[in-house]
Amino acid sequence: MESAWVNTTLDLSINPFSHTNKAPKREADGKMAEFDGKSPVKQETGILVEELNRVSAENKRLTEMLTALCEHYTILQKQYKELVSKNIETESSKKRKADCEDYSTAMIGFTANADSSCSDENSFRKPKECIHAKISRACVRTDPSDNSLIVRDGYQWRKYGQKVTRDNPSPRAYFKCSFAPTCPVKKKVQRSAEDPSILVATYEGEHNHTHHSPAALSSLSPANSGAAAANNNPRSAPVSSSFAPAVTLDLMKPAGSDGETKKPTQQVDQPAIQQILVQQMAASLTRDPNFTATLAASISGNFVHRKW
């Protein structure tokens, strides 16, 4: 389900006039108009009207594409929900959870937040804790060459253990929330066995403090990974700026009543997800210096080429 990853990047290299070569043509038309002896104002007006119509048509076409994309996304998400519910039913019949755990399934669909239910990893081992502890899972795509098991989520974590598990060659790191001494939240981070570029973070419990960490605001932005990483783990080297954009949501959002714990997090309202996505895209873009630089270059380039 690679298509489930939400790509928030923009291709700024697209020149709106490139496919029609309107700009050079318009320039040429203007020169020709001088030779034709027609009114340059009328020529310019006609060109502008034509361009306006073209832009409107393109806008309409893009809107239709976006609508179709959203519809496809909705359909895919529904299919994923059905798959997850089926998996929960089948997995609950198995005795040992470790045999049925598959991180890749946790990444399916909306990979940012997969709030696990009692069918999750501790359900068979610690059924009592499962009732009280909120368990959620997040998948973050990282640079495959980056060996650090750091997931920047805005909180401060203290590593208290590392273990190599049976079904995954990469070690699993254990973290406790160090922001508040009484905070019971624990986090396990391990690379996906199938895709080493993906870090799977499993959170247990709920934070009993507010999200004061400065990195909390910047954690959603890959561009600020350096500062966030410094806050999260001052001693570790800053994560490469080539960090792929990963959607990261508030992982500690309450999953609701106990009766609802059987449902995966993907049950969140569709408009809410879209709103979060839009906010994250905007935040990610506006905080990325590369984006602003590229945008400025693109705009200035357009001005130069178009010779307004």
Q: Applying CB under 7 A, which residues contact DNA? A: 95-96, 98, 121-122, 124-127, 157-167, 172-174, 178, 186, 188, 233-235
Between 30 and 184, CB nearer to DNA: 184
Q: How far is the CB of 246 from DNA (least distance, A)?
A: 21
Min dist. Cβ of residue 188 to DNA (A): 6
Tokens of 219: 């954690």
Contacts of 35 (CB under 8 A, 6+ apart): none
Nearer to DNA, 77 or 165 (CB): 165
Specify the DSSP class assigned to residue 243.
P
**Closer to DNA at the Cβ: 60 or 132?**
132
Q: Which is nearer to DNA, 19 or 235 (CB)?
A: 235
* Shorter beta-carbon distance to DNA: residue 180 or 268: 180
Contact yes or no for 187/136 (Cβ under 8 A) = no
Residue length, the chain? 308
CA–CA separation, 76 vs 194, rounded Å?
22
CB of 235 vs DNA, minimal distance in Å? 5
Nearest distance from residue 149's CB to DNA, in Å? 8
Residue with tokens 């502008």, as numbered in its chain: 48
Smallest gap, in angstroms, from Cβ of residue 180 to DNA?
12
Q: Which is nearer to DNA, 163 or 305 (CB)?
A: 163
The whole-angstrom separation of Cα 50 and Cα 33 is 16
CA distances from 113 to 110, 200, 288 (A): 7, 10, 23
As a whole number of Å, the end-to-end CA separation of the chain is: 46
Pairing of strands 114-115, 135-141: antiparallel
What minimum distance in Å lies between the beta carbon of 211 and DNA? 18
Helices 40-91 and 270-287 meet at what angle, rounded to 10? 120
What is the rounded distance in angstroms from the CA atom of residue 190 to the CA atom of residue 282?
29
Nearer Cβ to DNA (184/196): 184
Q: What are phi and psi of 188, to 5 degrees?
A: -115, 130
| Minimal distance, residue 108 CB to DNA, in Å | 21
**Contact indicator for 279, 212 with CB cutoff of 8 Å:** no
